[in-house]
C-alpha cells in the first residue's frame, strides 16, 4: 500500500496490523516532501533524522499509542524542544524553545511522529500565508492561488499529502478558512478545550489549537488525543473529554440546524449557496429540523475582532524587544535605539500594522471609545449565539464566500483581506467550536477549486458538531479527492 494515499485512521490501523511499517511510512512522506515541498513551500523545517529514529522505535514496539507511527506536521508557532520555532518571522528566525507545546506533546505521547514545522502568516497574522518572512505557501489545487491563512502551510502540507494530519491555530478562522480553500476538514475547538501552553501568543483570549485532517473521523481522533485539562494553562477547562470517535455514529434524532440570514449573503459564490442547499436537504433526509435563527450583531464581528485581536497582539508582542531573545539589532546607540531598531528589523509590515492598531486602541483617550466598546460588542455577539442555541443545536453557514483567490489579489487592500474572515471571526469572539468540511468544488477558468461549509456549535459540544459534520462529508463526497500535483 501507499501510506501517503489513505486516511489518518486507515494509516494508523495499517501500521498496527503491520501492513506497512512506520519506517516505510515516514520514508514515503519524506520522499514526497523532497519532491513537492519546494514548489509549494508548506514546510519551513523538516526533521528527517528525528522522524526516522522515532519510526524505528515504533516498529520495535518501544513507542505505542492510538497514533503510533502516524506522521503529523505542526504549525511553526508551536514550541518544541527540537528544531526552531520561528512563527515565520525574522524576529524569531533562530529561536529554539526550551519546552514543548502541550498539544504537540500529547500527540507524541500517543505515538505520533512530528515530521516538521509549517509556514504561516507571520505570528499568525493573515488570511493568505503571503505574510511569511520565509516566502508564501502555495495552494496545491492551484499554485497561483493562496492556501488561506494563517495556517496555510499546515493546510497545504496535508492537501499535498506531505503528512497524514496537521496542527494549526485559529484566532479568527486560521484553521477553518485554509481548510475550506484546500479541501480539508478543519476544527476549531471550544476555547479551553485544548491547552494553549507552548503556542506562541497572538491574541490570548481568541487563540485555539486544532487539527487539519482529510476526514471527520480523523479530526475526532486528533481532538480526543489533544483535549483535556492542562495545569500549565490557566484557561484550560477542567471537564471530562468525550469519546469523540466512539460517539461519531450516534443517531441525530431530533437535531435542529439553524440557518441565519446574516450568513446567506448574495456575496456568496453560487457554488457555496448550492452546497448550503444540498447540506440542508441532507440534514432533512436524516430527520433534522431546519430553523431560522437571528445573529443580529454579525456585521460587527470584523471591526470588533480587529480591535480586540490587535490590542492583545500589541501587548503580547511587546516582549520582543531585542533584550532577552529573538532578533537583536547590531551596535545600538542606547536602549531606545535597541528597542526600536530590533522591532523595526524583526517584524514584517502586517505585524507592524496590527501592533500600531492595537497600541492605538489601548492608548489614553481612545481606550473607552474603541477597546472597551469592542469588548461590549463581543459580549453582544456571544449573546446572539446563546439565544440562537436555545432554538438549534448548531448553525450551518459558509466558511468563506468562495474558493481561493490569487496571490497579490488582496494584498494592496488590507480591509478587503480582513473580510476573508467574515464568517469565521465570530466563533472566536464567542468562544464556541466550529468546523469546516469540504462542501464541493467551484470551477474557475477550468481549474477545480474546493469550497467549505461551516458548522458552529454550543460550547464544549464538539461531539455533536463532529456528527453533524460527518453528514455533510457523506453528502458532498469530497474527502477522497486530491489535487493533481
Please report, for residues 127, 246, 267, 387, the alpha-carbon distance to residue 381 in angstroms, rounded to integers and kept in the order given.
Answer: 22, 33, 22, 10
pLDDT band at 478 (very low <50, low <70, confident <90, very high): very high
The per-residue pLDDT for 72 is: 98
pLDDT per residue as tens digits for the range 132-183: 999 999 999 999 999 999 999 999 999 999 999 999 999 999 999 999 999 9
**From the CB of residue 329, how many other CB atoms can be counted at a distance below 10 Å?**
16
In this model, does residue 427 exceed pLDDT 90?
Answer: yes
The per-residue pLDDT for 194 is: 98
Q: Where are the alpha helices (DSSP H) in 347-477?
A: 349-362, 373-391, 414-418, 425-430, 462-476
Catalytic residue among 132, 151, 174, 342: 174
Please report, for residues 97, 119, 157, the alpha-carbon distance to residue 165 in angstroms, rounded to integers and kept in the order given.
Answer: 23, 15, 9
pLDDT band at 413 (very low <50, low <70, confident <90, very high): confident
pLDDT per residue as tens digits for the range 182-214: 999 999 999 999 999 999 999 999 999 999 999
Tell me whether residue 75 is one of the annotated catalytic residues: yes
State how far the Cα of 292 lies from the Cα of 301, in Å rounded to an integer: 20
In this model, does residue 479 exceed pLDDT 90?
Answer: no
In the chain, what are the domains? 8-251+436-476 (3.90.1300.10)
Catalytic residue among 75, 105, 410, 458: 75
pLDDT band at 219 (very low <50, low <70, confident <90, very high): very high
The per-residue pLDDT for 253 is: 84
Catalytic residue among 88, 127, 150, 151: 150
State how far the Cα of 474 lies from the Cα of 434, in Å rounded to an integer: 18
Q: At what angle do helices 8-16 and 216-226 cross, to 10 degrees?
A: 70
Is this model's pTM higher than 0.85 or not? yes
pLDDT band at 240 (very low <50, low <70, confident <90, very high): very high
The per-residue pLDDT for 110 is: 98
Residues 309-327 have a mean pLDDT of 96
State how far the Cα of 73 lies from the Cα of 165, in Å rounded to an integer: 7
The per-residue pLDDT for 415 is: 82
In this model, does residue 252 exceed pLDDT 90?
Answer: no
Tell me whether residue 53 is one of the annotated catalytic residues: no
pLDDT per residue as tens digits for the range 440-475: 999 999 999 999 999 999 999 999 999 999 999 999
In this model, does residue 480 exceed pLDDT 90?
Answer: no
Do the beta carbons of residue 28 and residue 2 sit within 8 Å? Answer: yes
State how far the Cα of 451 lies from the Cα of 278, in Å rounded to an integer: 13
Tell me whether residue 150 is one of the annotated catalytic residues: yes
Residues 95-123 have a mean pLDDT of 98
In this model, does residue 419 exceed pLDDT 90?
Answer: no
Residues 69-74 have a mean pLDDT of 98
Amino acid at each position: 500500500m501507499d501510506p501517503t494515499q489513505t486516511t489518518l485512521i486507515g494509516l494508523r490501523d495499517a501500521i498496527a496490523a503491520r501492513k506497512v511499517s512506520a519506517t516505510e511510512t515516514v520514508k514515503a512522506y519524506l520522499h514526497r516532501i523532497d519532491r513537492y515541498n519546494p514548489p509549494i513551500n508548506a514546510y519551513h523545517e523538516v526533521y528527517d533524522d528525528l522522524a526516522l529514529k522515532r519510526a524505528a522505535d515504533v516498529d520495535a514496539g518501544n513507542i505505542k499509542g492510538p497514533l503510533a507511527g502516524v506522521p503529523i506536521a505542526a504549525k511553526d508557532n508551536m514550541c518544541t524542544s527540537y528544531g526552531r520555532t520561528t512563527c515565520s518571522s525574522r524576529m524569531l528566525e533562530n529561536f529554539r524553545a526550551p519546552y514543548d507545546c502541550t498539544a504537540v506533546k500529547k500527540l507524541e505521547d500517543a505515538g505520533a511522529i512530528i515530521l516538521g514545522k509549517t509556514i504561516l502568516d507571520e505570528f499568525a497574522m493573515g488570511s493568505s500565508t503571503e505574510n511569511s518572512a520565509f516566502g508564501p505557501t502555495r495552494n496545491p489545487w492551484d499554485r497561483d492561488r493562496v492556501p488561506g491563512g494563517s495556517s496555510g502551510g499546515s493546510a497545504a502540507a496535508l492537501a499535498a499529502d506531505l503528512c497524514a494530519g496537521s496542527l494549526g491555530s485559529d484566532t479568527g478562522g486560521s484553521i477553518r478558512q485554509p481548510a475550506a480553500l484546500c479541501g480539508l476538514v478543519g476544527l476549531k475547538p471550544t476555547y479551553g478545550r485544548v491547552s494553549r501552553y507552548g503556542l506562541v501568543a497572538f491574541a490570548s483570549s481568541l487563540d485555539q489549537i486544532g487539527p487539519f485532517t482529510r476526514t471527520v473521523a480523523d479530526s475526532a481522533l486528533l481532538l480526543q488525543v489533544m483535549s483535556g485539562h492542562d495545569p500549565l494553562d490557566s484557561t484550560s477547562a477542567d471537564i471530562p473529554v468525550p469519546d469523540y470517535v466512539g460517539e461519531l455514529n450516534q443517531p441525530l434524532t431530533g437535531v435542529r440546524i439553524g440557518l441565519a440570514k446574516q450568513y446567506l449573503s448574495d456575496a456568496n459564490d453560487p457554488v457555496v449557496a448550492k452546497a448550503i442547499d444540498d447540506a440542508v436537504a441532507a440534514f432533512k433526509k436524516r430527520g433534522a429540523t431546519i430553523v431560522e435563527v437571528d445573529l443580529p450583531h454579525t456585521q460587527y464581528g470584523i471591526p470588533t475582532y480587529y480591535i480586540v485581536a490587535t490590542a492583545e497582539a500589541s501587548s503580547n508582542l511587546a516582549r520582543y524587544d531585542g533584550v532577552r531573545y529573538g532578533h537583536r539589532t547590531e551596535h545600538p546607540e542606547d536602549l531606545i535605539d535597541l528597542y526600536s531598531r530590533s522591532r523595526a528589523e524583526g517584524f514584517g509590515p502586517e505585524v507592524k500594522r496590527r501592533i500600531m492598531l492595537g497600541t492605538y486602541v489601548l492608548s489614553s483617550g481612545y481606550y473607552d471609545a474603541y477597546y472597551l466598546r469592542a469588548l461590549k460588542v463581543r459580549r453582544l455577539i456571544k449573546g446572539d449565539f446563546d439565544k440562537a442555541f436555545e432554538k438549534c443545536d448548531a448553525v450551518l453557514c459558509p466558511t468563506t464566500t468562495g474558493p481561493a483567490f490569487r496571490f497579490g489579489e488582496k494584498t494592496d487592500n488590507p480591509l478587503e483581506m480582513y473580510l476573508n474572515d467574515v464568517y469565521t471571526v465570530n466563533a472566536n469572539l464567542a468562544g464556541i467550536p466550529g468546523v469546516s468540511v469540504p462542501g464541493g468544488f467551484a470551477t474557475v477558468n477550468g481549474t477545480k477549486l474546493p469550497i467549505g461549509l461551516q458548522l458552529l456549535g454550543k460550547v464544549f459540544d464538539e461531539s455533536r458538531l463532529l456528527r453533524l459534520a460527518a453528514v455533510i462529508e457523506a453528502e458532498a463526497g469530497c474527502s477522497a479527492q486530491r489535487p493533481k500535483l
